[in-house]
A and B are shown apart, each in its own frame.
Chain A
Amino acid sequence: MSRLVVGPFNRVEGDLEVTLEVAAGRVRSARVNSPLYRGFEQILRGKDPMDALVFAPRICGICSVSQSVAAASALANLMKLEPPENGRLATNLILAAENLADHFTHFYLFFMPDFARDVYRHRPWFTAVQARFKAIEGSAAGDALPARAKLLSLMGSMAGKWPHTLSIQPGGSARPVEGGEKIRLYSILREFRRSLEKTLFGDALEAVAGLESARDLEGWMAARAPDASDFRLFLEIAQDLALEKLGRATDRFLSYGTYSQGDGFMFRRGVWDGEFKPLDVDAITEDISHSWMAGPAKPQPPAHGVTQPLAEKPQAYSWCKAPRLNGDVAETGALARQVVNGHPLIRDLVAQSGGNVRNRVIARLLELALVVPAMESWVRALEPGAPFCHHAPVPEEGCGVGLTESARGSLGHWLEVRRGRIHNYQIISPTTWNFSPRDAQGVPGPLEQALVGAPVQEGETVPVAVQHVVRSFDPCMVCTVH
């Protein structure tokens, strides 16, 4: 058995270190360490409740809007406030723009460049992948960056700027859309759709969204040359490297549900562990047995959670707490969202091979195909002239919970106000779920489980398979510890 410490990881947001025990060319066990602590939960104590809208987005520059939405919903919950229809649509649009930009950035800039590494120079697809995806130099960046910037010009219009907008309010949006602007927003989305259809998929979004089974997907693949589109090229690599056998975690999936519509969500809330179950929010606790944190030994529900750093603690190896659902590990992200929501392709893929590197990436790209058409319909539904924001005073005492989904999964804020000030603020981010350390029972978190069995080649100091697994979660380390 030999030990390998890998870090810093790049192309994950923030700093990450992974310690691996390796034997006979495979990872035997893994420990995931989030080596950076900033203390937002401590900073927020004593502040005016509405100030959470300034601080929360700055927890993370990549899920900034998701943090705003979670904070605004926690406040809305406290204030008993419902946004008007326009406010809801505007929030959906801003949130979706961030989430899709994330999926898109993840695929093009963070995930794919690893296949252009030298270790793969003998694979049949290497030349094509290197020309397209080599970090910084590949041609894909030249297509992806302008498309991304263009999509995010929707933020310029609807949110003032990205990241770190203050337009998302508990009562809706502070930025009403005026009559003539709808067409501009619509054309931004049409342009993004065109670039997805042309270079990412090489097919209509509706056709991709309509794939219903693993067999459909195979048929889609067979009908196209390996380099027909970026998605097709990924499927080629996935098949050649058997990425569906890499990075399987616990196969219990969690989604808080997102994109509010009617009295529910476009992607529903729930849990999947072979069958659908409703989510019991009260069954969420955080365990700190292996975190550099002081506090009660018994796992606490976030509403009563405390955050008190303790740098010297036996057994501890991460600043990250370990969230558990009914005491169990759960994975969150696009794959979780789609399996919980019941997309037939994803349900079929998960039934066959569980949560793994390939399926996580497919689910993310599928969401691009699902959400862009929804955004087009939300723009059409905006009603300039009708209210975008409702208003109410902030109560002096009370609690609020705000749950949403960022690109990388379930994000929750728990807020308690006493005498008009924030008394406690607890945040559980998606990567806190996915990259959690062990709990008191010694059960490893999702990534720690997913890394077991990953191949380590002779002489590899930064095993490339480990990197695929890590990045398949689209981790965001700054969120993880906040």
Chain B
Amino acid sequence: MIGPKPEGINVLWLQSGGCGGCTMSLLCADSCNLFEMLSSAGVRFLWHPSLSEETGVEVTRVMERCLSGQVTLDALCVEGSLLRGPNGTGRFHLLAGTGRPMIHWVRELASVARYTVAVGTCAAYGGVTAAGGNPTDACGLQYEGDEPGGLLGVEYRSRSGLPVINVAGCPTHPNWVVETLMCLAFGLFSERDMDALGRPRFYADHLVHHGCTRNEYYEFKASAEKPSDLGCMMENMGCKGTQAHADCNIRLWNSEGSCTRGGYACISCTEPGFEEPGHPFAQTPKIAGIPVGLPTDMPKAWFVALASLSKSATPRRVRENAVSDHQVITPAIRKTRLR
């Protein structure tokens, strides 16, 4: 039977070099009452920076009780990247009221946590804060980009024996976080449930391409040329949906959305290093007219052959709608009964 462990789990949530967007996104969960749902699953917040009552010393006391073992810390959730600069001091983020670098707090708390969870790409891999010249020497909990290591090091394991669970995404989908926490509370999460980059497989074993409403345009290589066009965004607009691991077009955002449904490219925000794609985000890099990043699992020769074949077979409706901001030609009506 599925049910929360009778004792439930205690969650401590800390924010560092991020934007708070993962928390804001969490509050968009479609459930009738997020707090009730979590508490009925046995998920208790020891402290959350945006939600709890405690401020100041009340908070440091909570953290100290976790460290001394008076309170069991089941899940340490960290949102935002870990700032090691300047010069390894961690001074770019001293936790307010404590005068101590946040990275020290995180290292200590991670050593007593049963599970350590990176919420968002910042905390998982470094994320946008590590972009450009990485002025704050930002990294993830257990990764720096796609290099294992990060703040806690390759060898780190939480008390459960698991490495850091990377709920990557910028921001994270509310249900990626809720379901991860619930799996932990229900004792239903093991190393088998994580992919090679530490992401929960329940969402990372999908591609953004799955369920994309532009699939017909993709099939015929009928491509958008400018923002607001309806066509497929892979060829020109920088879309990485055919390579990005996430279920964004299956599990929709804010009830009915996703990046591609919102009219813009998937920039593969669940992937380490997405912040420095090596090209302008909204432009597809190409060699000899062929996109450099081909769909995952697809050999280049096949792609080229299929693309030229499907381009030559594109119906006029699909071709013209692809470069328009509304359907200029509607699908023809056919009798589909067997004749």
* A-B interaction: yes
A436, B214: Cα distance in complex, Å:
47
B132–A44 touching, CB < 8 Å: yes
| A8 with B93: CB separation less than 8 A | no
Contacting pair A58 B170 (CB below 8 A): yes
* B30 close to chain A: CB less than 8 A: yes
Q: How large is the interface on A (under 10, 10 to 19, 20 to 34, 35 or more residues)?
A: 35 or more
Given contacts A58-B170, A136-B35, A141-B35, contact A156 B49 (CB under 8 A): no
With a CB–CB cut-off of 8 A, which chain B residues contact A48? 280-281
Bound CA span A467–B53, Å: 11
In the complex, the answer to whether A152 meets B28 with C-beta atoms within 8 Å is yes
Per-residue 0/1 for A89-114: is the Cβ within 8 Å of any B Cβ (1 yes, 0 no)? 00000000000000001000110011
> In chain B, residues 52-74, which have Cβ atoms closer than 8 Å to a Cβ of chain A?
52-59
> Counting CB contacts under 8 A, is B231 at the interface?
no
Q: From B36, which residue of chain A is reached at the shortest CB distance? A: A142
Is A125 in the interface zone, CB < 8 Å from B?
Answer: no
Known: A42-B132, A161-B253, A174-B262. A391 touches B227 (CB 8 A): yes
Within 8 Å of chain A (Cβ to Cβ): is B241?
no
- Of B2-10, B94-102, B144-152, B290-298, the segment with at least 4 beta carbons within 8 Å of chain A is B94-102
The answer to whether the Cβ of B267 comes within 8 Å of any Cβ in the partner chain is: yes
Q: Which of B49, B55, B135 has the most CB of A within 10 A?
A: B55
Of the listed residues B25, B257, B282, the one surrounded by the most CB atoms of chain A closer than 10 A to its CB is B257
Q: A43-B131, A161-B257, A166-B262 are in contact. Are A149 and B97 (CB under 8 A)?
A: no
Chain-A contact segment, one of B15-23, B110-118, B192-200, B304-312: B15-23
Q: Are the CB atoms of A461 and B56 closer together than 8 Å?
A: yes
Q: B247 to chain A: closest CB distance in Å? A: 13
Which stretch, B84-92, B159-167, B177-185, touches the partner chain A?
Answer: B84-92
Whether, in the assembled complex, A60 has its beta carbon less than 8 Å from a beta carbon of chain B, the answer is: yes
Pick the contact of B171: A114, A157, A164 (CB < 8 A): A164
- A145 contacts across to B, CB distance below 8 A: 27, 29, 33-35
B50 touches A156 (CB 8 A): no
Smallest beta-carbon distance A225→chain B, Å: 26
Interface membership of A62, Cβ < 8 A:
yes
Complex: how many Å from CA A288 to CA B20?
26
Q: How far is the CA of A478 from the CA of B47 in the complex (A)?
A: 19
Nearest CB of chain B from residue A245's CB, rounded to whole Å = 22
- Given A9-B55, A155-B254, A160 and B263 touching (CB < 8 A)? yes
Report whether A13 and B55 are in contact in the complex, using a CB–CB cutoff of 8 Å: no
The listed residue (B55, B96, B129, B228) touching A174 by CB distance below 8 A is B228
Taking the closest CB of chain A, its distance from the CB of B182, in whole angstroms, is 17
Is A356 located at the chain interface by the 8 A CB criterion?
no
CB under 8 Å from chain B, chain A span 19-60:
33, 35-39, 42-48, 50-51, 53-55, 58-60
> Contact at A109–B50, with CB atoms within 8 Å?
yes
- From B21, B30, B36, B47, give the contact of A163 (CB < 8 A): B21
Q: Within 8 Å of chain B (Cβ to Cβ): is A153? A: yes
Q: Is A250 an interface residue (CB 8 A)?
A: no
Residues from 278 to 310 in A contacting B, C-beta threshold 8 Å: 309
Contact (Cβ within 8 A) B258 A55: no
Q: For A39, what are the chain B residues with a Cβ–Cβ distance below 8 Å?
A: 129, 132, 135-136
User: Which chain A residue lies CB-closest to B248?
Assistant: A161
Q: Does A444 contact B (CB under 8 A)?
A: no
State whether the Cβ of B220 lies closer than 8 Å to any Cβ in chain A. Answer: no
User: Is B15 in contact with A171, judged by CB distance below 8 angstroms?
Assistant: no
Question: Do A160 and B52 touch (CB < 8 A)?
Answer: no
Cα distance A27–B265 in the bound complex, in angstroms: 51
Stretch at the interface among A236-244, A366-374, A381-389: A381-389
A153 to B255, CA, bound (A): 5
- The answer, yes or no, to whether A135 is at the interface (CB within 8 Å) is yes
Kindly state whether residue A311 has any CB partner on chain B within 8 Å. yes
Question: Would you give the shortest CB distance from A473 to chain B, in whole angstroms?
Answer: 15
- Say yes or no for B288: interface residue by CB 8 A criterion: no
A-B contact count (CB 8 A): 274
A219 within 8 A of B: no
Tell me, rounded to whole Å, the shortest Cβ–Cβ distance linking B1 to chain A.
28
Asked if B289 is at the interface of the complex by the 8 Å CB criterion, the answer is no
Name the one of A9, A13, A61, A109 contacting B25, with C-beta atoms under 8 angstroms: A61
A13 and B30 CA atoms in complex are apart in Å by 22
Does the CB pair B92–A37 fall under 8 Å?
A: yes
Inside 8 A of B98's CB, which chain A residues have their CB? 7-8
What does the 1/0 interface line of A397-417 toward B look like (CB < 8 Å)? 000000000000000000000
Q: With A105-B27, A155-B254 known to touch, is A176 a contact of B96 (CB < 8 Å)? A: no
Note all chain B residues with C-beta closer than 8 A to A388: 228, 325
Q: Tell me if A153 and B94 are in contact (CB < 8 A).
A: no
Beta-carbon contact of A42 and B256 below 8 Å = no
**Chain A residue at smallest Cβ distance from B47:** A10
Contact between chains at B55 and A156 (CB < 8 Å) = no
Q: Choose among A16, A47, A467 the residue that contacts B96 (Cβ–Cβ < 8 A).
A: A16
Contact at A160–B262, with CB atoms within 8 Å?
yes
List residues of chain A with CB within 8 A of the CB of B47.
Answer: 10
Q: Mark interface residues in B304-330 (1 if CB within 8 Å of A CB, else 0).
A: 000000000000000000000111000
Q: Given the complex, which residues of B lie within 8 Å of A157, measured CB to CB? A: 254-257
A137 to B52, CA, bound (A): 10
CB-nearest residue of chain B to A169: B227
CA distance A36 to B79 in the complex (A): 14
Is A334 engaged at the interface, CB distance under 8 Å to the other chain? no
Q: How far is the CA of A304 from the CA of B170 in the complex (A)?
A: 31
Smallest beta-carbon distance A78→chain B, Å? 15
Interface string of A244-263 (1 = CB under 8 A from B): 00000000000000000000
B55 touches A42 (CB 8 A): no
B264: contacting residue among A15, A33, A110, A167, CB under 8 A: A167
Bound-complex Cα distance A153 to B261 (A): 13
Contact present for A160 and B253 (CB under 8 Å): yes
In the assembled complex, the Cα of A145 lies from the Cα of B34 at a distance in Å of 7
Question: Does the CB pair A152–B57 fall under 8 Å?
Answer: no
Tell me if B24 counts as interface (CB < 8 A to partner A): yes
Residues of A within 8 A of B48 (CB): 10
Are the CB atoms of A45 and B132 closer together than 8 Å? yes
Interface-central residue, B24, B47, B54, B269, by most chain A CB under 10 Å: B24
Query: Chain A CB within 10 Å — which of B20, B32, B48 has the most?
Result: B20
Using Cβ atoms and an 8 Å threshold, which residues of chain B touch A467? 55
Q: Does B51 contact A (CB under 8 A)?
A: yes
Query: A449 near B: Cβ within 8 Å?
Result: no
Contact of A42 among B89, B135, B255, B269 (CB under 8 A): B135
Decide if B157 is an interface residue (CB 8 Å cutoff): no
A426 is an interface residue with CB less than 8 A from chain B: no
Q: Does B250 contact A (CB under 8 A)?
A: no
Is B210 among interface residues, defined by CB-CB distance under 8 A?
no
- The list of the 8 closest CB pairs from A to B, nearest first, reads A160-B262, A61-B21, A7-B96, A156-B254, A156-B257, A7-B97, A174-B263, A17-B96
Q: Can you list 13 A-B pairs with a CB-CB distance of less than 8 A?
A: A15-B93, A39-B135, A46-B132, A54-B267, A136-B35, A149-B255, A152-B254, A156-B254, A159-B262, A165-B262, A167-B264, A172-B228, A467-B55
Told that A61-B18, A167-B263, A309-B135 touch, could you supply 17 new A-B pairs with CB distance under 8 A?
A7-B97, A8-B98, A14-B15, A17-B97, A35-B95, A37-B83, A51-B280, A135-B52, A149-B254, A152-B254, A159-B257, A160-B260, A163-B24, A164-B21, A165-B264, A311-B91, A478-B19
